[in-house]
Structure 1
Amino acid sequence: MVTNVVSSVGIVLTNKWVFKVHKFNFGTLLTVIHFVTTSVGLELLARMGYFHRKYVAPSRIFLLSSAFCGFVVLTNLSLQYNSVGFYQCAKVLTTPVVVGIQTLFYGITISNRLKLSLLLVLIGVAIATITDVELNLLGFLIAMAGVLVTSLYQIWVGTKQKELELDALQLLHNQAPISALSLLILFPFFDDLEALKAYELTAPAIRDIAITAAFSFFVNVSIYGIIGRTSPLTYNVVGHFKTVTVVILGFILFSYPVMFKNVSGILLTIAGIIWYTLIKLEESQPTLPRKP
């Protein structure tokens, strides 16, 4: 979880740097680079003996790879067609959708105390991050599709590890090349090819793109590790913590104005995360038999 938080915050800040400073505004192509880097990194780890390769037929992880591509494409489109405020609203909805899907289709239920702690986290994130909320039909449909596909992707990351009897690295080793190839085919439809042809790639830009790719390796590996060892729901809570961390760093690094709304939202989120963690730790303790 620590690796995921540090690398995720790092990739958000370095991606923003690549987009703003180097004007490399090709988000889908950058994701392709990230997954190629993840594939190469995992292959090196396998050759060094950190894990054993275990190949599965591409057809068995096709849905997982498709969900990932859909998640990337729909997230980019949601940000394009919606205001930042509504985009943040949609991201917050992923947690209750994950809970709903797990309850309806996988028979996984959570306690009322966990639901209340999640509600506190969601309210805190909403207060801390949501600004303007402008709604249009196309943007709404894209955002809702993105929420559904993202939720399914997170759930399938966990279920596929158990179904295929793979650990996190083995599953990602199978999925990463397929996702990279799929997005390579799709990126001409979502990135400006004319602008890409005219783009002048400099040494500093290559360096910073490489840094984002290195962060992406640790992000991808830790996502699969967290979901495989805990649950998609816990990963969502970690994700909300990353969101407020980015907001806090925005105040520090980019001199964003500090408002009471943001501070109160951050405090609520942290309180909800602590409560959620304490409940999960309590529920994970073995129940001792009562003495007669």
Structure 2
Amino acid sequence: MSAAAAPAAPPSRTLVAAHCCANVALSITLVLLNKWVYTHVGFPNMTLTLLHFVTSFALCALSLRAGLFAAKRVPLLDMLPLAAAFCGFVVLTNLSLQYNTVGTYQVAKVMTTPGVIAIGACLYGRSFTFGVKLCTIPITVGVILNFCFDLKFNVIGFFMACAGVVVTSFYQVWVGRVQTEHRLNGLQLLLYQAPLSAGLLLCVAPLFESVSETLSRPLTPQQTALVVCSCVMAFVINLSIYWLIGNTSPLTYNMIGHSKFCLTVAAGFIVFHDPLQLNQIMGISLTMLGIIVYSHLKMKQSASVRLPTVNGALKRSLM
């Protein structure tokens, strides 16, 4: 009788760290590139996001045809909530930014971390250690300190921010669950989600933007190159996000997002000489403290999980 297949070993710390660094660097680069496209090419946010997903599907199809991965059958009803959550995430975060100040928007965005914890614990029975929960406090306080002079609330903005937090939290949790349940890698997941998200976004985007007018406008070769670069980079970042969530957790991906916020503020000070106030320095320090402590706790947890896995594999090899 053949032995049961051993569970796949978790990725090494070096590989996870490499993906984290690549995701942070690419994401910050894409933000700057997209800002240039918005400003100098005139592409609105949702239309550009729609092109991102159309490009992602085309590149996934080409990769499939080239034999880089094998397609898997996934029930449509399992993918539709994920695609709909992504569209809700894009629309609601844009509306939150539209109706709120940047500071209020950022503070609402950081609440995704406790949102992921609450959804995982209440709906899916996940347990989080006290230390991990405690890490969210300095991170949240740090972001609030950084934007404390830019906090303004109104009824519509508050509703959009809260709805955006809920939908984004569900989206990140569902990405991890779908990958785990159906054993999908990033390309396999994106092959399904990209066309569904593009179709749903195509129904929603015209309510906020003139999609047809934007897409029919002639572009110079330089402008076209910028849009293409943005689309290809978004494809790579989506794969990186799926890998990180699938191989770590939605909460870990949130922590990476907070580090992007700190690095973006620091880069603005170093590169563009943006003024950095005392409250911002305190905020960045608290946020980074929370991220460092969380990373330490996760590495200890990973080491404790890896040791039984290795011991179990050794026992099976001796049987």
Normalised by the length of structure 1, the TM-score is 0.91
Residue correspondences, number: 288
Q: Match for residue 173 of structure 2? A: 155
Q: Match for residue 69 of structure 1? A: 87
Q: Match for residue 236 of structure 2? A: 218
Displacement of 1:94 in angstroms is: 0.6
Structure 1 regions of 5+ residues with no counterpart? none
Q: Match for residue 155 of structure 2? A: 137
Structure 2 regions of 5+ residues with no counterpart? 1-19, 309-319
Which deviates more, 228-237 or 200-209? Answer: 200-209
CA distance in 1, matches of 2:185, 2:29: 25
Residue in structure 2 matching 1:125, options 143, 157, 163: 143
Aligned residues of 1:32 and 1:183 also touching (Cα < 8 A) = yes
Listed one character per residue, the Cα deviations across residues 87-117 of structure 1 (whole Å, up to 9, x for unaligned) are: 1111011101111111111111211111222
Aligned residues of 2:269 and 2:276 also touching (Cα < 8 A) = yes
Aligned residues of 1:90 and 1:144 also touching (Cα < 8 A) = yes
**Paired residue secondary structure (2:42):** coil
Q: Match for residue 4 of structure 2? A: none
Displacement of 1:158 in angstroms is: 0.6
CA distance in 1, matches of 2:272, 2:213: 28
Displacement of 1:187 in angstroms is: 1.5
Q: Match for residue 94 of structure 1? A: 112
Listed one character per residue, the Cα deviations across residues 67-100 of structure 1 (whole Å, up to 9, x for unaligned) are: 0011001111111111112111110111011111
Structure of higher RCO (CA pairs closer than 8 Å, 6+ residues apart): 1
Residue in structure 1 matching 2:53, options 35, 43, 47: 35
Bigger Cα Rg:
2
CA distance in 2, matches of 1:241, 1:9: 11
Amino acid corresponding to residue 183 of structure 1 in structure 2: L
Displacement of 1:198 in angstroms is: 8.7
Q: Match for residue 7 of structure 1? A: 26
Displacement of 1:248 in angstroms is: 1.8
**Paired residue secondary structure (2:151):** coil
Listed one character per residue, the Cα deviations across residues 246-287 of structure 1 (whole Å, up to 9, x for unaligned) are: 212222343321222222222222222111111111112237
**Paired residue secondary structure (2:41):** coil
Aligned residues of 1:125 and 1:244 also touching (Cα < 8 A) = no
Residue in structure 1 matching 2:129, options 103, 111, 133: 111
Normalised by the length of structure 2, the TM-score is 0.84
**Paired residue secondary structure (1:255):** coil
Amino acid corresponding to residue 249 of structure 2 in structure 1: S
CA distance in 2, matches of 1:185, 1:79: 21
Name the % identity.
44
Listed one character per residue, the Cα deviations across residues 44-66 of structure 1 (whole Å, up to 9, x for unaligned) are: 22233332111323232111110
Root-mean-square deviation (CA, aligned residues, Å) is 2.1
Amino acid corresponding to residue 56 of structure 1 in structure 2: V
Amino acid corresponding to residue 12 of structure 1 in structure 2: V
Q: Match for residue 256 of structure 1? A: 274
1:44 matched to 2:62: yes
